[in-house]
Amino acid sequence: MTIYEGKTLKYGDNIDTDVIIPARYLNTTDPTELARHCMEDLDPDFKVKVKEKTILVVGENFGCGSSREHAPIAIKASGVKCIIAKSFARIFYRNAINIGLAIVELPEAVEKINEGDWVKVDLSNGLVENATTGEVFKIKPFPLLIQEIIKRGGLLNFAMAKARGEIK
């Protein structure tokens, strides 16, 4: 069972990859360094606000712009456990899965979740619960393969585990 929970941070629509990780930091692929600069042009306090358990709640078209993998890497390395969005840009969506960042498209939940709410995301059973308000939202669970990729921390980790025979 794959469950993510945490306190929410909430941002709006059309947050592009240049906002998630500004181009001036693309000379590194070090996740720790990318995390230091994640969302800094949108919210200079982002890295301070992200705690051990943080769920990012965002509007429409999250991750639009360039196809850089740096953006989901920066978010994951910053400590964000899961992103709930009204919608994701297609390439960001796939890059997030490839690096093992849990993501959920659920517009009705985004509308009803406030910053600071405590949220639980159960990818295995397809549930998002706002523990602060008691509201529960149903999502279509990812296929088992995608759940395993996310659980393993990304496509590369999944492939290595498969090669070692840890996954049938």
User: Alpha helices of 68-136 — where are they, by DSSP H?
Assistant: 70-78, 90-98, 107-112
Query: 101 with 75: CB under 8 angstroms?
Result: yes
Digit-by-digit pLDDT tens for the chain (168 residues) are: 689 999 999 999 999 999 999 999 999 989 999 999 999 999 999 999 998 899 999 999 999 998 889 999 999 999 999 999 999 999 999 999 999 999 999 999 999 999 999 999 999 899 999 999 999 999 988 888 999 999 999 999 999 999 999 987
Q: What is the pTM of this model?
A: 0.94
The pLDDT assigned to 163 comes to: 94
CA distances to 53, 74, 126, 137 from 131, in Å: 14, 27, 16, 11
pLDDT of residue 51: 86
Domain assignments of the chain as residue spans, ordered by start: 3-164
Structure tokens at 43: 């919210």
- Residue 68 has what pLDDT? 84
Q: What is the pLDDT, as a whole number, of residue 61?
A: 98
Q: How far apart are CA 25 and CA 99, in angstroms?
A: 19
CATH architecture of 3-164: Alpha-Beta Barrel (3.20)
pLDDT given at position 1: 63
Judge contact between 22 and 33, C-beta under 8 A: no
